Structure 1
């Protein structure tokens, strides 16, 4: 017996057997990225651990760091069944802040759509994301078949979804155009979307900063949006973006003024003025809590 065959036989109990001669090897299953299997994180033991982490660690941390003020929860009182929460995205703080702000009625069966190329790049990081926030891998550059199939199957099984339609954190404090994932899933599964606006997390931990800073935040929940027969994924995604922009206007002014502008079709967009970077920064203005009512004003 040759040395090569002897090693092969010794390897067999500890690794997969080699395919017969002439048979191509099966493709290796990926353990990270969009192919990471999160099914284990929805088992009873993992869900119990996540609830403990949320109540003992996450909620006190968010209360101390973000001092959240939650508005619009009364708009969800008559809402039943699984829903999609679609929010703007400025900081990594957004996820734990929203996870602890969404009522337990949905939080206890909630998964978070997380970027597969960031949160699922290694074994430890992937496991922590799935366990702590119930994350599932989502391809942010496109509506991937695997990601869409997984999210849709969970929604149909009674799970709610928290997703950031911008696909990534704001690079400069202004929002980014919404991608179609939330609209596609809502239309496909026939479930309502709750628009959510988060204000203030960019002061705590903006993109590029590693050390958080304490600051007040406001989370505003909007009226649920239900896709109609005329809605396709793109049209419904546009409706979601307008709804979140209206909540941003409501946060920086008041409910009445925001509704007047929404009715007139003059709600300021989330993406800000299409000008040079320094003028975009200037238009954002002073972002301290004292002057946040003015920071979305753009001079005529």
Structure 2
């Protein structure tokens, strides 16, 4: 039997990770027909079928799952070996693709990426700002960054921040020209800038004080799916917004925003980097996690959800 080449094994692993020949071909920089021919040639040489293929999906056969399970640790060892070989030049290589909210990207740009890029200039960072929560494995991302509460339960989460406070804000002009807001229920008589969740539903604004809790579907003629845009809309006088404090900081500092209902604010657990516990961990991701642990002040232990 002809021994499979490294490229053939990498092709199998990439198709298994992406669950799509098209996406795997994009990751590998190959034509889809070339990748398909490579996989079929390997299956013929081995005398086994590695993938079930339909017009809409790709799934591993039982034999393919066994191959991936035993091959993944070997790929990890090879990546580590190759990076050890290049360690004398301090040039680890690779590409790290991360799906994140715009607030998370701002946090990375401020606190994590300057250190990471300085230490690992050979690693390319591909950040994709997405308001919606996506399946990072299916979409070909190495990791995602979201509010800790939104991290899928089967992922490993690494804390990027401490608790994240939500604030209710409006422009000074809006505040001056509308009735005072002293209680969350007062919002039902105001113009609010609503938040659309990834699934399409509007987010209910949440408040808590002295064991009193409210989750309000506030009225409003403007609905957005970006906290940054909601803060911008509030600064323009379009209404009241309810956003993570990081989105409102610049507006508050410049006095284009004022906070309302300060005694009623609640906090999220914070922002977390997350990735699959079932996939091979690329060297670039491992180094990124190490950088987070070295540069953040919050406890950044790996926690399987």
TM-score, shorter chain, exceeding 0.5? no
Structure of greater relative contact order (alpha carbons < 8 Å, 6+ residues apart): 2
Greater strand fraction, Structure 1 or Structure 2: 2
Larger Rg: 2
Structure 2 length normalisation: TM-score? 0.25
The normalised TM-score by structure 1 is: 0.26
